[in-house]
Chains A and B, each alone.
Chain A
């Protein structure tokens, strides 16, 4: 028994060591740093207080949540039909190629892609030029350097992520569920909403949660595409480091952000009963 236990420890030892060295200890260090005063190194709660009392800081969290909500909703609305087409309509032998083509844009650099969107959405960019040429607008619309641009940049990335998780879920569905629903008289819509959609919920939730986590913490996309016309939490954190090197405040803001992401995980896991008994 003891040799089994020792072998078990040997097996999980590296993973435990990895988690301790690269997650627990850095996290503990961040907690300690977040409780320090940048000016004199003394202990203080002022870094946390600033977030909750300064409306400009709190607004950054509100902005992050709003942007993330938009990104998640739009990405899901685009990704589900896309995954459905790939899984149900595209012939099996073309599905791999179709998936590869779908993720092809992501072989390019994330930063280059963001700057490309900036040029596409610019006043004299492709979108405005096309709309003006078609007579849809008289004056170019202000698309770049807005929240809209940030949402577009994020959505471009997360549609693919959600497509992959939903596609995988759709492919795993046992066809007997559909046959049973059809035998019981369900129409196509009823079958989708009462059988397929609930069964693909895990894929949706996994994709949405990953979207939520990555979008909440991403700095590059809002920085390049948002034009700094509003600050998100990730930008607020970076701002503390640039010139002042205010790691205590940056740590406190990061931990608050992490708390919100953790709450998001707990809510989604509980709601959809993802945890195993």
Chain B
């Protein structure tokens, strides 16, 4: 007789715990000495984080994501104040501002004068005269290749990507915006001026590229394909693919073809609802400092050019990143297409058609 009430109590307890688990948000504790950051994988390198954590006696909690949409989804599912800083495509900073997520940054406390002017991107990182994002790293979606396997002179033109001579030797990076941008460059169009009317020609060119391609892969798959010799050329690759592999395979290189390359740029933004704004600003200042920039630029996940021209890179690191050639590269580079929502959807549908093409 006394067993049943005990069982019932246990069941009730279990039920209560489950109900609490279901009803209570599973948020992390946001202690004062913790910074919560939504980041891309290059920020997860302990070599970047440890000096900041040790210098400030804090813990940086990271959550990695890919794609602005996925990042915003995480924010939407969190409690206000859960996050302090976010890494975001520079062209997408206005999307975060529109959603009321970001806090203006104090320009006088940031090394803006040391940033390459071409990557400051004030038209997207500043809104209404206030700075909401600051570029921390940039690079190019262009042509990566194995110089032992291709004619390097061919890699100076985007026409090589549709040359039947390279059939079956290409991989395409699976992100529609930069590769559509490259197709636009090949057609002599400006990425900033793209409209729906340009999409049929872009689609035809993408289909020709696909006919030459062995695979369309995300970062790791396309990098692996180039590194293992499965393909000799990566469309949409750049220093972010080849620089990290330079020691193991010096034959991997990248070019900015005569038509130009697509400039990618990632920014740091601070959350308006963040609970540690002072610490968040310190973190942004650290990442933008010459030391932080060198560590971020050579992160184990992927390398890229530091936005701060005074980054304390070694001579070897500068050579691998082709630091001295940047002024010329930047002159020929065009930005990611930044379509509105309707055009963005149409671009993605063009990409879907390309992926499904046999």
Contacts and interface: CB of A to CB of B under 8 A. Distances in A.
Interface of A: 7, 10-11, 13-14, 17-18, 21-22, 38-39, 54, 56-57, 59-60, 115, 118-119, 122-124, 142, 144-145, 223-224, 227-231, 236, 239, 241-247
A110 to B, nearest CB: 14
- Which 9 A-B pairs give the minimum distances between C-beta atoms? A245-B69, A227-B215, A242-B67, A228-B216, A21-B22, A145-B215, A14-B15, A243-B67, A56-B356
A227 B177 CA distance: 19
B86 to A, nearest CB: 14
B221 A227 contact: yes
Contacts of B356: 56, 59-60, 230-231
B201 to A, nearest CB: 19
B349 to A, nearest CB: 7
Interface of B: 4, 8, 11-12, 14-15, 18-19, 22, 66-70, 72-73, 168, 174-177, 214-218, 220-221, 224-225, 228-230, 341-342, 344-345, 348-349, 352-353, 355-356, 358
Given A21-B22, A243-B67, A247-B73, A227 B228 contact: no
Given A18-B18, A21-B18, A244-B69, 6 more contacts: A38-B341, A39-B342, A144-B230, A145-B230, A228-B217, A243-B177
A141 to B, nearest CB: 12
A56 B349 contact: yes
A179 B220 CA distance: 57
30 contacts: A7-B8, A13-B15, A17-B15, A21-B18, A21-B19, A21-B22, A22-B22, A54-B349, A56-B349, A56-B352, A56-B353, A57-B352, A115-B224, A124-B230, A142-B168, A145-B230, A223-B221, A227-B216, A228-B216, A228-B355, A229-B215, A229-B355, A231-B356, A241-B69, A241-B73, A242-B67, A242-B69, A243-B344, A244-B341, A246-B69
Contacts of B224: 115, 118-119
B277 to A, nearest CB: 26
Contacts, number: 112
Nearest to B350: A56
Contacts of A13: 11, 15
A245 B22 contact: no
Contacts of B67: 241-243, 245
B4 A245 contact: no
B73 A145 contact: no
Contacts of A236: 352
A122 B12 CA distance: 56
A239 B11 contact: no
Contacts of B72: 245
Nearest to A244: B69
A83 B191 CA distance: 58
A145 B168 CA distance: 11
A123 B230 CA distance: 6
A3 to B, nearest CB: 10
Given A14-B11, A59-B356, A123-B230, A118 B221 contact: yes
A239 B215 contact: no
B230 A229 contact: no
A50 to B, nearest CB: 9
A22 B26 CA distance: 14
B198 to A, nearest CB: 19
A18 to B, nearest CB: 6
Contact of B352 (A224, A227, A239, A243): A239
Contacts of A39: 341-342
